[in-house]
Amino acid sequence: MMEPLMSVRSAPAAAGVLIAFGVLAAALATGLRQSFGLFLAPMTAEHGWTASGFAFAIALSVLLNGMFQPICGQIADRIGGRAVVMGGAVLYAIGILGMALADGMALFTFFAGVVMGLAVSAAGMPVIIASLTRLLPETQRGRAVGLGTAGSSFGQFLVVPLAGFGIAGLGWQWTLLVMAGVALLMIPLAGPLNDRPAPKTADTEETARQALARAFRTPSFWFLFFGFFVCGLHVSFLTVHLPGFVHSCGLPVAVGAGAIGLIGLFNIAGSLAAGELAQRWRRRELLVLIYAARGVLMAVFMALPKTTESVLLFSALMGILWLSTVPPTVALVARNFGTRWLATLFGLVFLGHQIGGFTGAWLGGLIFDRTGSYDLMWTIGILAAAFAALIHLPVKDPAPAAMPARA
């Protein structure tokens, strides 16, 4: 079994330090990754690459992140999250450094796609959130997941605009070199994530294979999987292509960078609210509401004139809905399947998110290259939001007492 640290359960100060370090690690991991869309325009212009080629490399990292995530989750479930996050931080630095020095699309795709895909799997939010969930009592888990998600958004709000200023002042290559050094700060921040499992104490304890078999037989697992696919499609499309969409509408590049930063800022409030609501409200209904609201917001935005004001207003409202899906999704996985293999099972649900992310990032670039417009991709995003809202309706949302006693 995975035994939470007693000092964390009994000492608010220890819990506060744990959450703070986890939040900061998630902030750096997400902020660095979400800034890559800003490099599309300057790097393709200098190297003569296509937008779809650059987008494919970023999309590949999203897809491989999803494929590697259950593996990294399995390792974290067995040895604890600290070592996994530290290893991921090193890979982050290597991947960003390789992106800066790559002089051909093949090499860039290797570092931005393959290396970064593995790095984000190891040092990303799922492993950090799973560690926090195991180390904290249930009464603090929803809040901690909300804080961890909000921390990711704060990193997006802080790092993305700084990366934009860096590109403008230092150039894209020097900015990537600085970011590679900053990634190493995740190593000390991972120190408190010491959720190393205690020795097995009962022959009846569920194994990883049994937990996976039980999840695969459960329809709710697949509803969450495909719902998270839509979340990934939205997030990656907007992260990679919103700056380019804004530029194609004749607005300054700074508006695109500000839009991504504003999404991160307002998602701090959205994630915190979702974390609190996940402890007080039905998580299933919360997800239905979030996805439906995304669809309505995108439809209204497409009908409005594209001005600086409309772009920033859309970004602020989308920010509230951005990663607010994470706390209720994590809570539903934990309540349906327990916390012993949470990093593994949530990692598999997260695979759906990243397959959607690959689809959103790559398809957005492909559609733009073929049509010269993002209009079709916006329509796909609206229809996908309606699908996600509907598919969460039959998800089982058991009360805590009904949760399998696996942790």
Cα–Cα distance, 204 to 348 (Å, whole number): 24
pLDDT grade, residue 10 (50/70/90)? very low
Q: What's the CA angle centered on 261, arms 326 and 349, to 5 degrees? A: 20
Given a cut of 80, is residue 257 above it in pLDDT?
no
Each residue of 148-157: pLDDT tens digit?
A: 777 777 777 7
At 165, list the tokens.
């200023």
> With pLDDT > 70 as the criterion, what percentage of the chain qualifies?
90
Model pLDDT for residues 299-350, shown as the tens digit of each residue? 999 999 999 999 999 999 999 998 889 889 988 888 888 777 877 888 889 8
C-alpha separations of 151 from 143, 158, 324, 375 in Å: 12, 10, 12, 32
Q: What's the pLDDT band for 237 if we cut at 50, 70, 90?
A: very high
What is the distance in angstroms between the CA of the first residue and the CA of the last residue of the chain?
6
Which run of H or E residues covers position 173?
A: helix 172-183
Task: Please report the sign of the dihedral spanned by the C-alpha atoms of residue 117, residue 118, residue 119, residue 120.
Answer: positive
Sign of the C-alpha dihedral computed for residues 337, 339, 344 and 350 taken in this order: positive
Domain count, the chain: 1
Average pLDDT of the chain is 84
| pLDDT band for position 6 (cuts 50, 70, 90) | very low
Please state, as a whole number, how many other Cβ atoms lie within 10 Å of the Cβ of residue 162.
18
Indicate the length of the chain as a whole number.
407
Confidence band (pLDDT; 50, 70, 90) for 404? very low
The two structure tokens encoding residue 363 = 């398809």
pTM, to two decimals? 0.72
Residue showing tokens 């701090």: 268
Residue 2 belongs to some domain of the structure? no
Is 252 within a domain?
A: yes
Residue 3 lies inside a defined structural domain of this protein: no
Structural domain range at position 361 = 12-194+210-397
Radius of gyration of the chain (CA): 20
CATH number of residue 312's parent domain: 1.20.1250.20
| pLDDT beyond 60 at 261 | yes
Q: What's the pLDDT score for residue 379?
A: 96
pLDDT at residue 5, rounded to an integer: 44
Q: Which residues contact 197 (CB under 8 A, 6 or more apart)?
A: 1, 2, 3, 77, 78, 79, 80
Alpha carbon distance 280, 140 (integer Å): 12
Q: Please determine, for residue 270, whether its predicted confidence score (pLDDT) is greater than 70.
A: yes
To which residue do tokens 């209204």 refer? 300
The pLDDT of residue 28 is above 60? yes
Q: Is the pLDDT of residue 180 over 50?
A: yes
The per-residue pLDDT for range 359-402, each reduced to its tens digit, is: 898 898 889 888 888 999 999 999 999 999 999 999 988 765 44
In a domain, 96, yes or no: yes
Give the separation between CA 337 and CA 345, rounded to whole angstroms.
Answer: 8
Residue 199 lies inside a defined structural domain of this protein? no
DSSP symbol at 112: I
Most confident of the ranges 134-138, 292-296, 337-341:
292-296
Is 105 within the bounds of a domain? Answer: yes
Q: Rounded CA gap, 192 and 288, in Å?
A: 35
On whether residue 5 sits in a domain, the answer given is: no
Q: Identify whether 403 is part of a domain.
A: no
Beta strands in 124-226 (DSSP E): none
DSSP string, 310-369: HHHHHHHHHHHHSSTTHHHHHHHHHHHH-STTHHHHHHHHHHHHHHHHHHHHHHHHHHHH
Buried/exposed code over 9-25 (b: 16+ C-beta within 10 A; e: otherwise): eeeeebbeebbebbbbb
